Amino acid sequence: MQCTIYDKGIPQFLASQNPTRPSANKRSNSFICILGKFAVASVPFRDETEIGSTGPMPRSIAMRKPSPSPTVGKSRITTMRKPCLRMIWCYLRTVLHTPQQRKSKRSSSLRNSKFFVHFAAISTKFASSQTPMNKKIYLDNAATTVTDPRVVDAMLPYFTEKYGNPSSTHFFGQEAHIALNDARASIAAFLHVAQESVIFTGGASEAIHLAIKGLAKAHVKKGRHIVASSFEHSTTLAALNDLSREGWTVSFVKPNIQGIVDVDAFLAACTDETSLAILMAVQNEVGTIQPISAIAQALKEKKIHFHVDGAQAVGDMNLNLQHLPVTSFVLAAHKFHGPKGIAALYVAPGVEIETLISGSQEFGLRAGTQNVPLAVGMQKALEIQQEEQALRTERLVEINAYARTCLTETIPDIHFHIDATTPASPHILSIAFPGTSGESLMRRLDLDGIAVSTASACASGSGRVSHVLTAMGISEELAQATLRLSFSHLTTREEIDALVTSLAFHVGQIRHMNITY
């Protein structure tokens, strides 16, 4: 595929867009050197005397007509190789902004120009055509997973045929009620707990708020002190922030450089007034598996309630809660190829918990008509996960190792935040590319049709450095240069090859141009 650039005028445009930089025209002439490396023929810009008056807002790029050169209507065209477009894009963003503008991201004059819009459209079209096999590649499975078609098939009848309210006493309601109880029983069996201990909520965030706030307020007589790790999910931190405004004190325990919370340090933070301890089972940004069992046993002896966020844990840990004495535990269906919008909260039998939304449903702990189709979908997804557990785990281990090898052999100077020997989930890989910006890499990969992330989806777009990486002691420079890759059993080697190829190009280009915006 070749691209066409039309003949109008750019040296004056460079100067007019950035009058504070008199060297703009001079630097534009040096742009020939960049084009010369990638163009079929090196085509210098017209001299300003040849251009004449082009107006304040030229519509396209000016180049002197090579000899000989075809003409199309009134426009002369020059055909170049595709890599040239990327070089033009990066060069313009560098030349047209002062260092202060790049740093503060004040570039509205350029972004609003017709030239920038026109060129952005060309670049986007070019970049989107670069994904091998002309398919989109999804490597953000820690954020959410594709719903298994078998799960969709299981849910469909409860949208159109068995649509009764499970609280109704007539036939339609009882049919839905039976399906809801079957789903609850299936999830309880997976966790090895009593059916009455499983509560359906509208998602993991709701379940986490219900567990943390409900346990803290129900057991306030023991004390208003809570212990948690400093790299919990943003939802957990939000719940703790709410409680801190109501008079609770929270002690945060930092993990080590490998993303593991030390058992002794966690227990040392507990006091006689500690009523609740909180720790996620599998860290959602770096994938480390936490020592939940050892901490749970010790907290049981101290008579401290223990809440565990297990959203990322399905498939990575033995979730037999009979041998894991936790007070509450959260599962999120969309993390294991189930539907979004539903989660299951386990609350240990006999433990008092204060409700957030009063009502009769879900044993009085969560009001509102239960979502039967999603409950059925969660049940089906969990059943499939159990049936295919060994195969999926084997596939994820293979893909993780392949990705590590390919990235290490292809791209120099990269940093894996978690060593291959550290206990971690194989579906999450956190990598820093020094000399780049993770946000910039993520957007460039997105244009290439490859979806990755820089951090948790719930914290994405905040503009802040990942609190997870800073809690681990990672430098701000490395944290800002980090991408999170997260795989599923559906991820292929061909997709990893495409990712590595695209990453190698972008990392090399950003480092060479020294642009980390």
Look at residue 464 in the predicted model and tell me its pLDDT. Answer: 76
pLDDT of residue 51: 34
314-350 burial, b at 16+ Cβ within 10 Å, e below that, comes to bbbbebebeebebbbbbbbbbbbbbbbbbbbbbbbee
Q: Which two tokens stand for residue 496?
A: 């990893």
390 φψ region: left (φ > 0), alpha (ψ -120 to 50), beta (else): alpha
pLDDT at position 512 = 87
* Element containing residue 137 per DSSP (H, E): strand 137-138
DSSP 424: B
Active site residue 3: no
Model pLDDT, residue 88: 55
Q: Taking the model in full, what pTM does it have?
A: 0.75
Q: What angle do CA 452, 453, 455 make, to 5 degrees?
A: 155
Q: How much is the pLDDT for 59?
A: 36
Tell me the per-residue pLDDT of 254-290, one tens digit each, with 9 for 90 and over: 999 999 999 999 999 999 999 999 999 999 999 999 9
Residue 135 has a pLDDT of 83
What's the pLDDT score for residue 513? 83
Q: How far is CA 123 from CA 1, 32, 54, 116, 119, in A?
A: 13, 19, 23, 10, 6
Whole-number Å distance between alpha carbons of 187 and 192:
9
What does the alpha-carbon distance between residue 246 and residue 262 come to, in Å, rounded to a whole number? 29
CA angle 343–345–346, rounded 5-degree value = 145
Classify domain 149-387 by CATH architecture.
3-Layer(aba) Sandwich (3.40)
Q: Identify the H or E element spanning 450.
A: strand 450-451
At 24 the pLDDT is: 41
Q: How much is the pLDDT for 7? A: 34
Q: Which residues of the chain have pLDDT under 70?
A: 1-134, 456-463, 514-517
Give me the pLDDT at residue 514, please: 67
Show me where the domains of the chain are located: 3-129, 133-146+389-513, 149-387
| Catalytic, out of 33, 84, 90, 458 | 458
Nearest CA among 214, 308, 221 for reference residue 273: 221
- Local structure of 99: helix, strand or coil: helix
pLDDT of residue 108: 44
Q: 133-146+389-513 is classed in which CATH architecture? A: Alpha-Beta Complex (3.90)
